[in-house]
A and B are shown apart, each in its own frame.
Chain A
Amino acid sequence: MAAWKTIRITKPCKLRIKNGNLVIEDETMRVKLSLSDIDSIIFEGDRFTLSAKVLAALSKHKVAALFCDEYYMPTAILHPYHQSSLATETLKAQLSLPDDLCDRFWQEIIRVKILNQSAVLSYFAKEDQKLEKYAKQIRPGDPYRTEAKSARIYWKKLFNDLKREANSLDVRNQALNYAYAILRSLITRDLSAAGFIPALGLWHDNRYNAFNLSDDLMEPFRPLVDIAIYLLLQNYKDDYLAPALKRDIVTIFDKEYIIFEGGLSTMRTTSVRYIQRFKAAILNRKIEFINFPTIDFEALSECF
């Protein structure tokens, strides 16, 4: 049974496991939630208590758990392992992946990302011919850093002169960082559920980063998040990350505006299938197995 529920913990409360269910309670209220229904959980408040048993149960049910710091920005994710019955096989395939195939994967990923970026720009009538040119030019392994070049144009055009930063106080950056963190936790959960080690990336190879592979694979999804954030930000005039905005950001992962394998779906369901396709591509050593998400603009205008 596919899980479909997102939970956000913002108030002081107590979490525990009772008879296989997650129980959330404070002085006034007590809620029972079935663990098999929960897809992800975001711990945002700073005064909740939870036991180790809750963490174990969350990992067992493949729940993407996200923990936030004192500024309510995500800092940690729960990364369970030994979840896939074919874990060793997948792991061996991942470890023995030849470099040229890695480069080909990265080329495809970046090509789709740039095409998605260009689609996003043309939706807002800000298109740039250079992006499509870059998408054609890209070589295996991206030796000419086409990704960086296109990103520079993209961000400049999409938001007027936005500089992407990790610890920025700009609300646009904060909203993007928040959404990316959720996306990253979803992809990482699906990767470890499929038996991959997210630390070993295709192209990202930062030795301080435990989620190189997640960062690689989430690239094509980034423009899909950007467009949703852009549309959401039009409704908010505050210059800080308002709680209502944050709530809306969480819901973009359940909006149906993604085309994947010919059908309309949400980012939450797409990410699972996308990782499965990636797994098939890795096991068969064939790039053709992988499939990438794109945006359905008609559905998008209905969602936002």
Chain B
Amino acid sequence: MSAFKIMWLIVMFDLPTTSKKDRKRYRWLFNYLDKEGYIRLQYSVYGKVFNSLQSANYGKKRLKDFLKINIKKGNVRMFLMTDAQFGKMEIVVGEQSSQEEIVQQLLFDF
């Protein structure tokens, strides 16, 4: 229908939470993701919708810059997928959150 291609940026992370400093850095990442508008798909798996590949790459770059400065230990990985690919994801147990459906709609009625 419309020319823009919805992209999902998925971020998955494992961060150490043993020391107090580690937990602080964990909070930083959590707050950053929240502020940028990422939504939680599962624990430690976050996703954000972008309306084009360009803006997705830009969002990725910003996240990388943040990680480079603030996160030293642990394991963070991310990947991009189209909305069609995301839609093919199977949810075997449990169900999709309402938040996930809402973020991709062009018009959102409340």
Contacts and interface: CB of A to CB of B under 8 A. Distances in A.
Query: Per DSSP, are chain B's interface residues mostly helix, strand or loop, or mixed?
Result: mixed
Interface stretch (A1-9, A142-150, A207-215): A1-9
Interface in A16-37: 19-21, 24, 29, 31-37
B23 to A, nearest CB: 18
B44 interface: no
A56 B49 CA distance: 24
Nearest to B48: A34
A304 to B, nearest CB: 12
Interface in B74-110: 98-99, 102-103, 105-110
Interface stretch (B11-19, B33-41, B64-72): B33-41
B98 to A, nearest CB: 6
A300 interface: no
Interface residues of B, number: 28
Given A2-B51, A21-B34, A9 B4 contact: no
Interface stretch (A87-95, A106-114, A219-227, A247-255): A247-255
A265 B98 CA distance: 30
A247 B102 contact: no
B36 A34 contact: yes
Contact of B55 (A2, A20, A29): A2
Interface in B24-72: 31, 34-37, 39, 48-52, 55, 58-59
B35 A1 contact: no
Contacts of B34: 19-21
Contacts, number: 80
B110 A11 contact: yes
B48 to A, nearest CB: 8
Nearest to A36: B37
Contact of A4 (B4, B39, B98, B109): B4
A37 B3 contact: no
A256 interface: yes
Query: Per DSSP, are chain A's interface residues mostly helix, strand or loop, or mixed?
Result: mixed
A75 interface: no
A78 interface: no
Contact of B50 (A1, A31, A32, A266): A1
A57 interface: no
A64 to B, nearest CB: 14
A37 B103 CA distance: 9
A13 interface: yes
A29 B106 contact: no
A32 B39 contact: yes
B37 A34 contact: yes
A13 B110 contact: yes
Contact of A254 (B31, B50, B107): B107
A19 B33 CA distance: 10
Nearest to B54: A1
A10 interface: yes
B99 A6 contact: no
Interface of B: 1-4, 31, 34-37, 39, 48-52, 55, 58-59, 98-99, 102-103, 105-110
Given A2-B52, A33-B108, A254-B106, 4 more contacts: A4-B51, A19-B35, A34-B36, A37-B103
Interface of A: 1-2, 4-11, 13, 19-21, 24, 29, 31-37, 247, 250-251, 254-256, 264-266, 303
